[in-house]
Amino acid sequence: MSLNLLGLNRSQFEALCADMGEKPFRARQMMRWMHQSGVSDFNAMTDVSRGFRERMGASAVVSAPQVLRDTTAPDGTRKWLFDVGTGNAIESVYIPEGDLEDDSAADESTGRRYRGTLCVSSQAGCALECSFCSTGRQGFNRNLTVAEIVGQLWHASRSLSTGLGIERPVTNVVMMGMGEPLANFDNVVTAMQLMLDDHAYGISRRRLTLSTSGLVPAIDRLREACPVALAVSLHAPNDELRNQLVPINRKYPIRELLAACVRYIEKAPRDFVTFEYVMLEGVNDSVEQARELVRTVKPVPCKINLIPFNPFPDSGYGRSAGPAVSAFRDVLLQAGLTATVRRTRGDSIAAACGQLAGRVQDKTRRVMRRMEEKRA
Ligand code: SAH
Ligand code: SF4
């Protein structure tokens, strides 16, 4: 099988060039062709010597996963379904914000008018079985390769820049698609290094966010290996409820998770952690639970992002009503916390948080187990 150059970070690419008797700058040159110009054909890399192009072409390819479906919602949200082989498919979602022509939508920190966020998947399925998550229900097949993770950004950048006619359509990346990114640690870190690299996508650390359900040792490793903005899926104010919603909590309870968040902030590009909290009607959305949440998160400088639950077939949960969400948020605000309610985007094409299901050939026999549980 040919080497896929989409999966190499800069140092790996430079080492490859050295092995082929070429200077390191050749790697940077080719990376810019691939990642910034979206070129996959070596012949189009016109400032690279023909001899080197031919040698590269004989042993390597630039290959992103094939697109199976490409859907755009009326609100501009766009979703791609990618084939990752052996019957598995993963999804990525692009969320544009602000008008291309509208000054009022300017981003304060950059002066940019337009923000385009790509939500990227890290695994085919997920092994962690959070009860309210469609990906979690599907079971787990495998970790995505670096090329499959970066390939989502490669493809999105390439097709969006043609479609929208702007040079950098993706300004922000969130590792919040299918899968638990910290359970695919090495590949996700290498992929994020490419996202950050000025010779590839040049996304700043503050604009690259990784969301985790709370794998404590991996949060510590991430702090050393690649500190990007961190979001943690909290979803409950106490261990008893979190054990039910996010089963990994039984292994890494809230107290340990929050301590890891505090350690993370020392190295993080932002001086807070974002806590995600999906609002499930009658489960975790009462005013008492909001007060308890205020006490729980006290040790951690944080922002809380309340996510309206996005339904999927047979989820067994309901979305909290608007007034309940507002009342919950107000308790947090009155306690001096920063809290926002995430606007639901792309739900008409099942592209909203937690709706990404792709297609997963479960290797964990989860579906069988569920059926047996139901019968018992
Ligand atoms: N595995 C990681 C990242 C992917 S999920 C994690 O769990 O953090 C991204 C976010 O969507 C998480 O906060 C997750 O809890 C949330 N989510 C999952 N299912 C959801 C649903 N049905 N509605 C709304 N948010 C959901
Ligand atoms: Fe996995 Fe995240 Fe879904 Fe939990 S919420 S099952 S960790 S993808």
Residue numbers annotated as active site: 91, 353
Question: Tokens 């959305």 identify what position?
Answer: 285
Measuring CA to CA, which residue among 251, 192, 187, 181 is closest to residue 219?
A: 181
The pLDDT of residue 161 is 85
**Ligand 2 binding pocket includes 212 (Cβ within 6 Å):** no
Instruction: Tell how far the Cα of 346 is from the centroid of ligand 2, in angstroms.
Output: 19
Regions of the chain with pLDDT less than 70: 99-113, 348-357, 367-368, 370-371, 374-376
3-state secondary structure of 163: helix
For residue 60, which phi and psi values (nearest 5 degrees)?
Answer: -135, 160
The pLDDT value given to residue 292: 98
Determine phi and psi for 209, rounding to 5 degrees. Answer: -120, 135
pLDDT at residue 166, rounded to an integer:
76
135 touches 124 (CB < 8 A): no
Going along the chain, which residue ranges are E strands?
A: 3-4, 60-61, 66-72, 78-83, 89-97, 115-119, 123-125, 140-143, 172-175, 208-212, 229-233, 273-279, 302-308, 338-341
Return d(Cα 227, Cα 204) in angstroms, integer.
Answer: 11
- Ligand 1, atom 3, lies closest to the CA of 176
- By three-state DSSP, how is residue 69 classified? strand
Angle at 213 between CA 207 and CA 214, to 5 degrees: 95
The bridge status of strand 60-61 relative to strand 172-175 is: unpaired
Neighbours of 209 (CB within 10 A): 20
Distance 373 CA to ligand 2 centre (A): 21
Take atom 2 of ligand 2 and give the residue whose Cα is closest: 180
The pLDDT, as a whole number, for residue 100 is: 58
Domains recognised in the chain with CATH numbers: 3-61 (1.10.150.530), 66-375 (3.20.20.70)
Which atom, in ligand 1's list, is nearest to the CA of 276? 13
Q: Counting runs of H as helices and runs of E as strands, what totals does the chain give?
A: 12, 14
Q: Rounded to the nearest whole angstrom, what is the distance from the C-alpha of residue 96 to the centroid of ligand 2? A: 24
Q: Of 32, 26, 30, whose CA–CA distance to 43 is shortest?
A: 30
The pLDDT of residue 103 is 45
Say if strands 60-61 and 66-72 run parallel, antiparallel, or are unpaired: unpaired
pLDDT of res. 104 = 47
Which pLDDT does position 106 carry in this prediction? Answer: 47
Quick one: pLDDT at residue 354?
A: 66
